[in-house]
């Protein structure tokens, strides 16, 4: 099928989502700030766009069946920049009529007190970033409920996998070189990781 699918962000998750979509014969347009990206298969286009500009979002997603929100501001800029980024994407997509699929994390669940995190776990964020993510998630769900857009949210834990610089740079490459491997958080505490290709498959499926 020549359905157009638009992916915002060309990081590990954006690329994993794109790979799954092209496996199903979809036409994929990727959007980032520079208009360039490495390691893209033939036929996948990457265009320069400002996702904070709802008019550009509407133009870039015109005629698309689905839009995947895999872009994010720098980690230290979430509180200031994530809400306007997501608001512009929702507004733009509402004009183009595509479905919006959002790649999300688990911060909004807060401290699960040792219990497994499930889809129906309570949303009780206890950190600043957790509260930001909980609010962002609610905005998407409210826009969906009101009929403004059709949306779905996929959530995963910390990534590992191709092109993920955090796990690659901290853990895997040092280990392969016989050096000290590091990990985020307390290495003695159980920690769930998500293979980024699986997360991309999830978003493409949604």
Average pLDDT over residues 45-72: 97
Q: Tens digits of per-residue pLDDT, 120-164? A: 999 999 999 999 999 999 999 999 999 999 999 999 999 899 888
CA distance 21 to 59: 21
Residue 113 is given by DSSP the state T
- The yes-or-no verdict on residue 1 having pLDDT over 60 is no
From start to end of the chain, where are the E strands? 4-8, 27-32, 45-48, 64-69, 99-104, 150-155, 158-160, 193-195
**Per-residue CA distances from 201 to 17, 76, 91, 205 (Å):** 6, 28, 26, 6
For 118-137, give one letter per residue: b (16+ CB within 10 A) or e. eeeeeeebeeebbebbbebb
Q: What pLDDT was estimated at residue 204?
A: 98
**Per-residue CA distances from 131 to 57, 106, 117, 138 (Å):** 26, 11, 17, 11
Query: Which band of pLDDT confidence, cut at 50, 70 and 90, is reported for residue 183?
Result: confident
Which residues 6+ apart lie within 8 Å of 157 measured at CB? Answer: 105, 106, 191, 192, 193, 194
Q: What pLDDT was estimated at residue 185?
A: 82
Tokens of 176: 């392969």
CA distance 43 to 58: 22
* Global confidence as pTM: 0.94
Query: Which band of pLDDT confidence, cut at 50, 70 and 90, is reported for residue 101?
Result: very high
Average pLDDT over residues 25-43: 95
- The yes-or-no verdict on residue 198 having pLDDT over 80 is yes
The fraction of the chain above a pLDDT of 70, given in percent, is 100
């Amino acid at each position: 099928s020549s359905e157009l699918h638009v992916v915002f962000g060309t990081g590990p998750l954006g690329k994993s989502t794109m790979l799954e979509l092209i496996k199903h014969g979809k036409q994929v347009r990727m959007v980032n700030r520079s208009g360039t990206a490495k390691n893209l298969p033939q036929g996948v286009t990457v265009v320069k766009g400002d996702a904070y500009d709802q008019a550009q979002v509407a133009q870039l997603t015109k005629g698309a069946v689905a839009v995947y929100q895999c872009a994010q501001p720098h980690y230290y800029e979430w509180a200031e920049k994530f809400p306007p980024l997501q608001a512009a994407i929702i507004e733009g997509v509402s004009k183009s009529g595509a479905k919006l699929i959002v790649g999300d994390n688990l911060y909004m669940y807060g401290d699960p007190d040792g219990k497994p995190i499930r889809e129906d776990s309570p949303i009780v964020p206890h950190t600043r970033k957790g509260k930001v993510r909980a609010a962002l998630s609610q905005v998407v769900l409210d826009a969906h409920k009101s009929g403004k857009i059709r949306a779905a949210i996929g959530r995963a834990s910390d990534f590992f996998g191709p092109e993920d610089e955090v796990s690659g740079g901290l853990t895997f490459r040092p280990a392969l070189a016989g050096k000290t491997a590091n990990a985020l958080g307390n290495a003695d505490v159980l920690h769930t990781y998500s293979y980024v290709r699986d997360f991309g498959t999830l978003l493409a499926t949604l």
